[in-house]
Amino acid sequence: MSIYQSYAEQQLLLQISRRDELAFAELVKRYRENIYTTALRLVHRRVLAEEVLQDVFLKVWLNAAGLPELDNFPAWLNRVARNTIYTAFRQSLKENVVELNEEVEEAAHFLEEDRILDKEYSALLHEAVNSLPPRQQQTWRLIREEGKKRAEVAAELNISPETVKFHLEAAVKNVRAYCLSRLPAAIAMLLIGIK
């Protein structure tokens, strides 16, 4: 049992401002569960919630000298935690968008290579695109054939970028299904990895 367990919060903050690591450990013990639970609820990833927890308490330690001057430490800590959580959440979203963009670009690259290599496939692809519903067809042409970015297409069609993404994903799926349905069975099985 730590001697700091019986300390009032202000006494604990004063000890932390003097760089008392045991007092800091007691403070972490008092608040970590609440911060971790809040972070996990918002970011939905344990690793990211743990990073948030570490960042919050690192900020507390770095601001140790000013802790005794705070009028309301729990409110200050909640603000630090909230800002750290939102920063981590935004960073996570950016990483997900980058990964998604890379996957879409990679898929577009492979489709483009296939189109160049095989005239028959180009004709089949043209048929497949022509068979798409109008909005999917329009989205496909603007992104795949004209090379426009999702944001540009969204502005041009007066729809959200997420709707553009939805139409492009549906178009890719429909084009793939159309092409596979018209290939000989042996080739189709090779393309989808069935032996």
Q: How far apart are CA 177 and CA 128, in angstroms?
A: 9
Structure token pair of residue 58: 């690192």
b/e map 122-135, b = 16+ CB within 10 Å: eebbeebbeebeeb
pLDDT at 179: 77
Distance of CA 143 to the CA centre of its chain: 22
Q: Is 1.10.10.10 the CATH number for 118-191?
A: yes
Q: Where along the chain do its domains lie? A: 3-93, 118-191
Q: What pTM, to 2 d.p., does this model score?
A: 0.50
Q: How far apart are CA 4 and CA 134, in angstroms?
A: 69
State how far the alpha carbon of 99 is from the alpha carbons of 96, 108, 145, in Å.
5, 14, 22
Structure token pair of residue 188: 């189709």
Q: Is 70 exposed, middle or buried (0-12, 13-18, 19+ CB in 10 A)?
A: middle
Q: Is 57 exposed, middle or buried (0-12, 13-18, 19+ CB in 10 A)?
A: buried
Structure token pair of residue 180: 């596979």
H or E segment and range at residue 51: helix 46-62
Q: Is 1.20.140.10 the CATH number for 3-93?
A: no
Q: How far apart are CA 167 and CA 160, in angstroms?
A: 11
Asked whether 180 and 191 are in contact (CB, 8 A), the reply is: yes
- pLDDT per residue, tens digit, the chain (195 aa), is 678 788 888 999 999 999 988 999 899 999 999 999 998 988 888 988 898 899 999 999 998 899 899 889 999 999 999 898 888 878 777 777 777 777 777 766 666 555 555 566 667 778 888 999 999 999 999 998 889 999 999 999 999 999 999 999 999 888 888 877 876 654 655 555 543
